[in-house]
Amino acid sequence: MQKIRIGYSPCPNDTFIFDALIHGRIETGELSFSEVLADVEELNRMAVNAELEVTKLSFHAFMHLLDRYVLLHSGAALGNNCGPLLIALEEFPLEEIGSKTVAIPGKMTTANFLLDFAFPNIGEKKEMIFSEVENAVLRGEVDAGVIIHENRFTYAEKGLKDLIDLGQHWEERTGFPIPLGGIAVRRDIDMDVQQEISELIRSSVEYAFEHPEQSLPYTREHAQEMDPEVMRKHISLYVNEYSVDLGTEGRSAVLHMYRNMVHQGRIEESPEPIFVNI
């Protein structure tokens, strides 16, 4: 029995996807899985040291770790109208963003990449846990903040203003869905096992769609105080056909991000394939 540690966040979309895999609802053959739950930026940092055999990570972080990890075709978070938002307590002209202090949910997050994609000459940034960004803006510690995850559904009721949808900006500029986060496997894992893991994650997603009620206890356990309606919206927004399989369009979106980063000199072109063999 080969043991595989798989890292993902406690957010509803991830616990929904991986419930069946972790809790033996699908047959996993000679592979045994255990979860490591952490905030996505912590997972990004762990991936720098290749600590886990399989991990969720921001696509932005993944592009910096192509020598260590290869991307699976299942379990990813891509989509339309689901990207990070730039919010503030009071609206201001976006032309002034270069002089503003902006809270970000981690420098390796895709949210930070999309902020730079929209505003290459942005002013000072402050890193913090994604759940603290709203409060930092409300307290006036920063001029604006980039929010992700369930904060998309809560910022307006706190009186915060949406300055720009960074995901929508990406979609309008590129024509591709927004590549937020993917599931990667360490390159030192046997290629047959890499493919098997990808297929098992696909089976776990399909099981979750077919039996959504079975994942509820696991999802609620880690969603803590999250409103049930927010939890439902969170899952429906971030778990979709790209989570089952990236498909041609999803892979094209990831490749476009990769080529953009190579073109800008942020990363070097990789001699290795980006995706696990289909």
SS3 state at 163? strand
Catalytic residue among 60, 64, 73, 149: 149
- Of the candidates 226, 175, 222, 242, the residue with the CA atom closest to the CA atom of residue 14: 222
**Strands 144-147, 102-104: parallel, antiparallel or unpaired by DSSP?**
parallel
**H or E segment to which residue 266 belongs:** none
Q: Which residue has the tokens 């980006």?
A: 274
Distance of alpha carbon 82 from alpha carbon 256, whole angstroms: 18
Task: Name beta bridge partners: 55.
Answer: 7, 184
Distance of alpha carbon 237 from alpha carbon 149, whole angstroms: 9
Burial 71-88 (b: 16+ CB within 10 A, else e): bbbbbbbbbeebbbbbbb
Q: For residue 41, which amino acid is it?
A: E
Residues in Cβ contact with 51 at an 8 Å cutoff, skipping those fewer than 6 apart: none
172 by Cβ neighbours in 10 Å (0-12 / 13-18 / 19+) ranks as exposed
Would you state the structure tokens that stand for residue 92, as one six-digit string?
């201001």
Catalytic (active site) residue 169: no
- What residues act catalytically? 149
